[in-house]
A and B are shown apart, each in its own frame.
Chain A
Amino acid sequence: MTMRADNISLHLSGFDLLRNISLEVEAGKVTAIVGPNGAGKSSLLKVLTGEMAATRGEVFLNNRLLQDWPLLDRAKILAVLPQHTLLNFPFTADEVVGLGRIPHNTGLAKDTQIIAEALDLVDASYLQKRFYTQMSGGEKQRVQLARVLAQIWQASHLGEQFLVLDEPTSAFDLSHQKLTLDIVRELADKGVGVVMVLHDLNLAARCADNLVVFDGGVIAAQGSPEAVLSEALIDRVFGVKSIIAQHPVTKRPLVIT
């Protein structure tokens, strides 16, 4: 099962934000999207999650047109973490993560357990009773991550589940960056299809099964990180001279600039 964009174009106020994009996000795999600012990464996520309608082309979720899914059913198999969430009401971390359980009817006891486990997973148990409005940027981002994890915590009878993350590690320190990638890998191993926008090429190379390089609204390259990352491509897309080496331990490509 997949989340599939079929020949998508997005035309907005005179600009071609996306041109003929075809992309498959497979369940059980991690897809990472990289590219320069304004290349269309976030626009693609918006089209994939139904927030914007494509000018041309279709999006399919588990072989069913995205817009044909009832909202509530869709929320049970597709969780989305946007880049910024403006929440200026003093919810506790518990309550924020609890919002992720809204689509489900699993009862208070089960939800409480899931909320605690999700917070624990993102190393935020100590925040449980703290007010969201008083947390640091990284803490907020971890709580939001826990929220979308709680949303797809249990497998659904509606089909494979997908998690969409827009720059999930932007406010994280090194240890939490690694933690996020570990969580994402674990989810993929459980069968969830993960797609995320990342800025750090090395993070992307380390965790992605499928690496998608965006440039100017089109896909410049996609495939395994080993196949995609080349000095010529990085020069062409980012305009930066680099050297591609191999990570001594993970054997993944390492971009040195």
Chain B
Amino acid sequence: MTVGTVDISLSEALSALTGSSVNTQTHTILFDIRLPRILLAIAVGAVLASTGAVMQGLFRNPLADPSLIGVSSGASVGASLMIVTAGGFIQSGALVGLSLVAVGAFIGGFAATLLVYRLATSGIGTSVTTMLLAGIAIAALAGALNSLLSYFSDNDMLRQISLWQMGNLSGASWTKVIIMGAVAVLLMGLFPRDSKALNALLLGESEARHLGIDVQRVKRRLIVLTALGVGVSVALAGLVGFVGLIMPHIVRLTIGPDHRWLVPASALAGATLLVIADSLARIVVIPAELPTGILTALLGAPFFVALLLQQRKDV
């Protein structure tokens, strides 16, 4: 909370948090700008990293990530569509408007997840090639639709749309924190139920079925939850890439692939990463700010290349 364009010392921040009086400007910066932003970063990071871990399990492939396989792009189309068609509501930043965008993003994300899953999964597993190609196809389609929507939108909408594509937490408000927090809590509550099933699914779908798991139902539930998580975080914070790829990986390297620990630990790690990335975004180019998505991509892209190289060595 102490880092940012305006210098606020740790002692000032602490005294504000504990309820002591500080000057109004400091109070506003802390409680209306920084605190919601940090909380939003925590919730978004946790949701992206845990859904990343879940997707990698579901696809049986450690390269699956919401931003790489087109889920985030699908969600962004849904969100843009809502902004353009229902722009009036959203301008006001009210709960209704935000919820509409979230619903749009959820539907977009859901459609994309389902499509990629169908395309990439066959009886023997998922093919990385098909999965990534499907991701490219969906991202391209989403890009085209987004451009089309931008073309027809006015200046305000355009700004909103382009902000997302970079992934930005700067618009944090308490309303957003509440929506995102609720989704994060929901996912954290529901994922553990399926962690054993995810472990079994790593063996393959028929093997999981022979272990008594209703594969269809588990898959459907996890895809819906993932689309919800990714959709809402895209709606509220834009396309923050790579968190869902990097964190589950690092966590898996340290504690192993058991989803009972992997999913919650990834959530924790994702929250930490995004808070750090966002804090950096606020201070590297003072007095301006970088969109958070740029930083996560800067961190994530080299990591992804390293992963690909390692996979090539293994095969």
Cβ contacts under 8 Å, A72 to chain B: 212
Which A220-246 residues sit within 8 Å CB-CB of chain B?
none
- CB pair B202 A71 closer than 8 Å: no
* Nearest chain A CB to B227 CB, angstrom units: 23
- CB pair A102 B211 closer than 8 Å: yes
Given known pairs A91-B256, A91-B257, A99-B199, the reply for A86 and B204 (CB within 8 Å) is yes
Given known pairs A71-B212, A100-B211, the reply for A91 and B206 (CB within 8 Å) is no
* Nearest chain B CB to A59 CB, angstrom units: 14
Cβ contacts under 8 Å, A84 to chain B: 124
Of the residues B210, B213, B256, contact of A95 by C-beta under 8 Å: B256
- CB pair B212 A76 closer than 8 Å: yes
Nearest 4 CB-CB pairings of A with B: A75-B212, A72-B212, A103-B212, A89-B257
Of the residues A49, A71, A91, A133, contact of B214 by C-beta under 8 Å: A71
Cβ contacts under 8 Å, B196 to chain A: 102
- CB pair B62 A89 closer than 8 Å: yes
Q: How far is the CA of A50 from the CA of B203 in the complex (A)?
A: 17
Q: How far is the CA of A204 from the CA of B22 in the complex (A)?
A: 85
Q: How far is the CA of A95 from the CA of B196 in the complex (A)?
A: 11
- CB pair B211 A86 closer than 8 Å: no
- Determine the residue in chain A with the shortest Cβ distance to B214: A71
Of the residues A75, A86, A92, A133, contact of B210 by C-beta under 8 Å: A75
Cβ proximity bits A77-117 to B, threshold 8 Å, 1 near / 0 not: 01110101111111110011001101100000000000000
Q: How far is the CA of A51 from the CA of B209 in the complex (A)?
A: 8
Of the residues A74, A87, A88, A89, contact of B212 by C-beta under 8 Å: A74
* Nearest chain A CB to B121 CB, angstrom units: 12
- CB pair B211 A75 closer than 8 Å: yes
The binding surface of chain B is classed by DSSP as loop
Q: How far is the CA of A73 from the CA of B211 in the complex (A)?
A: 10
Q: How far is the CA of A100 from the CA of B213 in the complex (A)?
A: 12
Given known pairs A91-B256, A99-B200, the reply for A51 and B212 (CB within 8 Å) is no
- CB pair A87 B202 closer than 8 Å: yes
Of the residues A50, A91, A92, A99, contact of B211 by C-beta under 8 Å: A99
Which B156-205 residues sit within 8 Å CB-CB of chain A?
196, 199-200, 202-204
Cβ proximity bits A42-65 to B, threshold 8 Å, 1 near / 0 not: 000000011100000000000000
Cβ contacts under 8 Å, A80 to chain B: 206-207, 210
Which of A51, A82, A89: most chain B CB closer than 10 A? A89
* Nearest chain B CB to A237 CB, angstrom units: 28
- CB pair B202 A102 closer than 8 Å: no
Quick check: is B289 within 8 A (CB to CB) of the other chain? no
- Determine the residue in chain A with the shortest Cβ distance to B56: A89
Cβ contacts under 8 Å, B210 to chain A: 49, 75, 78-80
Number of interface residues of A (CB under 8 A): 30
Quick check: is B12 within 8 A (CB to CB) of the other chain? no
Quick check: is A151 within 8 A (CB to CB) of the other chain? yes
- Determine the residue in chain B with the shortest Cβ distance to A148: B210
Quick check: is B60 within 8 A (CB to CB) of the other chain? yes
Cβ contacts under 8 Å, B204 to chain A: 82, 85-87
* Nearest chain A CB to B206 CB, angstrom units: 5
* Nearest chain A CB to B163 CB, angstrom units: 37
Cβ contacts under 8 Å, A78 to chain B: 210
Q: How far is the CA of A56 from the CA of B99 in the complex (A)?
A: 51
Cβ contacts under 8 Å, A89 to chain B: 60, 62, 202, 252, 257
Q: How far is the CA of A160 from the CA of B126 in the complex (A)?
A: 35
- CB pair B257 A90 closer than 8 Å: yes
25 of the cross-chain contacts (CB-CB < 8 Å) are: A71-B214, A72-B212, A73-B212, A74-B212, A75-B210, A78-B210, A80-B207, A84-B124, A86-B60, A86-B204, A87-B203, A88-B61, A89-B60, A89-B257, A91-B202, A91-B256, A91-B258, A95-B257, A96-B203, A99-B199, A99-B211, A102-B199, A102-B213, A103-B211, A103-B212
* Nearest chain B CB to A93 CB, angstrom units: 12
Q: How far is the CA of A171 from the CA of B228 in the complex (A)?
A: 44
Cβ contacts under 8 Å, B256 to chain A: 90-92, 95
Given known pairs A51-B209, A90-B252, the reply for A102 and B200 (CB within 8 Å) is yes
Q: How far is the CA of A87 from the CA of B204 in the complex (A)?
A: 8
Which B8-64 residues sit within 8 Å CB-CB of chain A?
60-62
- CB pair A151 B203 closer than 8 Å: no
Cβ contacts under 8 Å, A74 to chain B: 212
Q: How far is the CA of A91 from the CA of B252 in the complex (A)?
A: 10
- CB pair A88 B214 closer than 8 Å: no
Cβ contacts under 8 Å, B200 to chain A: 99, 102
Cβ contacts under 8 Å, A86 to chain B: 60, 124-125, 204
* Nearest chain A CB to B278 CB, angstrom units: 30
